[in-house]
Amino acid sequence: MRKKRFFSGIQPTGEIHIGNYLGAIKNWLNLLESGEYEGIISIVDYHAITMPYEKKEMQDRIRKCAATLMACGVNPDNSLLFVQSQVPQHTELSWILTCSSNMGELERMTQYKDKSKGSESIGVGLFSYPILQTADIVLYKAPFVPVGEDQIQHLELAREIVRRFNKRFGKVFPEPKPILGEAKRIMGLDGGSKMSKSLGNSISLTDSGKPLWKKLASAKTDEKRKLRTDPGVPEDCNVYNSYHLYFSSSEDHNKIQEGCTSASMGCVDCKKILLANMEKSLGPIAERYQELMETPQQIDDFLQKSAIKCREIAEETMQEVRQKMGLR
């Protein structure tokens, strides 16, 4: 049976956090493990340069991102994993789709509004970011896009752009459908905003031991629970909602419900249970990550071979696009 194709992208932040993992990567892995899907996964460096960055850090960020994904289970048997800027057709198609997009629909994007808030000079790259994202997906004619909740709006726009293009030039692209994972918005350690590396409230996928404990120890819990003797409400606690729910067993959930609401268990004890559970599920990923980083040849090989294959697929699509548009 022919496998269904999905496309997804991830920014090379250098440190993939558990918000990325629970919101998107786990979703990819579930699809890959089902045996029904093949993945085309891009480390989107062209998206990353829409914000200020240190040029000397970029290659390291890309390699760490690739190593983390490979440590999670993305491999040459189930996926192509490549760096976006190594497939120039992404920017070519992005320009073409720019000419099928309009300002109003881009101005409505929440991510754009959030990221440009307060700045007096807004980059055009930040503005047209969702068009490049659309190009990423449709270059491979991928019908499915596993993403976190925050990307749903971009996917809706992608479908709109695709419909417009197909109507004008004839059907080339399928309308990409999002596949949402189970995890809702994963909040940061501060409990007040979405987990994000730039906000400094994130837990890295490869954190363990002391550094992990330091972060968990600082995490906000139920604010109404001021004293150890006050009973708490797990549903009002970010540590419970964002982390225990995903890393702890239902047995532990029951234990915490009971202990927290009766004040027989303190927040520190509750966080210790979380630490043990997180180390159990993330420990093997951290170990494989270390091994991969010590033998980077494996990583670079995978990225390069994938890029060759992706350029082939992408060029085939582009020939069809240029021809349909009367460009060749």
CB of 303 to ligand TRP, least distance (A): 16
Choice between 11 and 221, CB closer to ligand TRP? 11
CB of 8 to ligand TRP, least distance (A): 5
Which residue spans within the chain are E strands per DSSP? 4-10, 37-43, 79-83, 144-147, 177-180
Distance from C-alpha of 45 to C-alpha of 62, rounded to nearest angstrom: 8
Beta strands 144-147 and 37-43 are unpaired
- CA angle 25-31-37, nearest 5°? 125
Choice between 149 and 269, CB closer to ligand TRP? 149
Choice between 154 and 244, CB closer to ligand TRP? 154
Q: Which of the residues 184, 197, 220, 324 is marked catalytic?
A: 197
Binding site for ligand TRP (CB under 6 A): 7-11, 44, 47, 133, 136-137, 145, 147, 151
Closest CA to 65 of 300, 277, 270: 300
Beta partners for residue 80, in sequence order: 40
Query: What would you report as the CA-atom Rg of the chain, rounded to the nearest whole angstrom?
Result: 21
Q: Which residue is nearest to ligand TRP (CB)?
A: 9
CB of 275 to ligand TRP, least distance (A): 28
| Catalytic annotation present for 55 | no
Distance from C-alpha of 96 to C-alpha of 93, rounded to nearest angstrom: 5
Q: Which of the residues 26, 64, 115, 271 is marked catalytic?
A: 115
CA distances from 79 to 4, 5, 141, 307 (A): 12, 10, 15, 12
Choice between 114 and 301, CB closer to ligand TRP? 114
| Catalytic annotation present for 171 | no
CB of 146 to ligand TRP, least distance (A): 8
CB of 23 to ligand TRP, least distance (A): 9
For 237, what's the count of Cα atoms within 13 Å in the CB-facing half-sphere?
25
Tally of CB atoms within 10 A around 178: 19
| Catalytic annotation present for 26 | no
Distance from C-alpha of 243 to C-alpha of 277, rounded to nearest angstrom: 10
Distance from C-alpha of 322 to C-alpha of 328, rounded to nearest angstrom: 6
Tally of CB atoms within 10 A around 279: 17
Distance from C-alpha of 258 to C-alpha of 246, rounded to nearest angstrom: 18
Choice between 8 and 242, CB closer to ligand TRP? 8
CB of 224 to ligand TRP, least distance (A): 34
Choice between 11 and 201, CB closer to ligand TRP? 11
From first CA to last CA, the distance across the chain in angstroms is 35
- Catalytic residue positions? 115, 194, 197
